[in-house]
A = this chain, B = another copy of it.
Amino acid sequence: MMKALVRLGFLIAVMATTCLLAGSTVRAGSDPLPSWNEGPTKHAIVEFIRATTDPSSTKFAPPEERIAVFDQDGTLWASHPIYPQLMYCLDRLPAVVKARPALAKIEPFKTALSRNMEAISKLSTKDLIKIMAAPLSGMSVERFRADAEKWLETARHPRWGRRYTELRYLPMLELMKHLRANGYRTYIVTGGGQDFVRVFAEQTYGVPPEQVVGTLESVSYRYDKRGRPVLIESAETLLGDVGAGKPEAIHLMIGRRPRAAFGNSTGDRQMLEYTTSGDGARFGMLVLHDDAQREYAYGPALGLPDTRIGAFPQSLHDEAKRQGWFVISMKSDWSRIWAFEQ
């Protein structure tokens, strides 16, 4: 009986292995990144993932170290003409000002209420954070979530007339899925508010709340009128997840140095620097917005003016070259940008 069981077990093991091999052959045969044009960038990505998951490769990364971090605005979804979260805050601002009329007379709220997008896009980061924090303050975590969900369902991007979540980049989504299929955990590391991005990250990118690392706003543990515990959003920022704040937040929330980092602007420089300066195989990539027809084009390297939203100055190009980071061109590296494209 025992022998028969052992033999049965062996047979199953052999058959299971055969199936797994057959499965991976099929997978290797199909293109995991169909929205990427063939070329050195696509090849480098696919090769990095292959090598770091091949136990016989010198570039092999143990499963627990397979962490890939993605900036959001301009890296995973469109962030022009202004950040979608800022749009949400501008839409909520009249209600905030109704409750606190004094705000209407002081900056940056005066400019924000004007809805003059050009003036708003020129505000300092500090002012933008003020505008983005104001609507949350005093709301319960659940109420904020419901409110943001409703906005994401109803608001439309001024250019495409589509929900903001539809303006995610298909090639990046394929990349995240390919990484996850190879045992990588994909984290979003964004200057956006952590609780805002958590509202849609799971459905939009397949990234669960605990893998969203955003600008950390504090919450306060209180009790509602019925004595039940409730977490209240506060306007206090614990850690701004931009620039040097990105590696700091990564350490705080993940506690390991990522193997791969993807960004699109100066705000991601330190995240890429931290990621790629570790031992072993590392990967850094920046998305260059050079496709005015299908998305946007900006930046001095293209002979175009720079922008406060997703700044990509010449110095970042130089740094990328020095560090061996890939700069991908939306125009020539991506055959398709949107899922809704025909």
Contact = CB atoms under 8 A, between A and B. Distances in A.
A21 interface: no
Contacts of A216: 238, 252
A44 B248 CA distance: 41
A255 interface: yes
Shortest beta-carbon contacts, A-B, top 9 = A209-B255, A221-B244, A210-B254, A221-B247, A238-B238, A12-B15, A229-B274, A198-B255, A219-B251
Contacts of A219: 248, 251-252
Given A221-B244, A248-B221, A64 B12 contact: no
A274 B255 CA distance: 25
A221 to B, nearest CB: 4
Interface string A251-291: 11111100000000000001001100100000000000000
5 contacts: A64-B208, A194-B255, A209-B255, A218-B252, A221-B244
A218 B248 contact: yes
A228 B270 CA distance: 11
Contacts of A327: none
A212 interface: yes
Nearest to A209: B255
A198 B16 CA distance: 37
Given A221-B274, A229-B270, 5 more contacts: A12-B19, A218-B252, A221-B270, A231-B247, A231-B248
Nearest to A198: B255
A210 B15 contact: no
Contacts of A198: 255
B229 A247 contact: yes
Nearest to A22: B5
Of A216, A229, A274, the most chain B CB neighbours within 10 A belong to: A229
A8 interface: yes
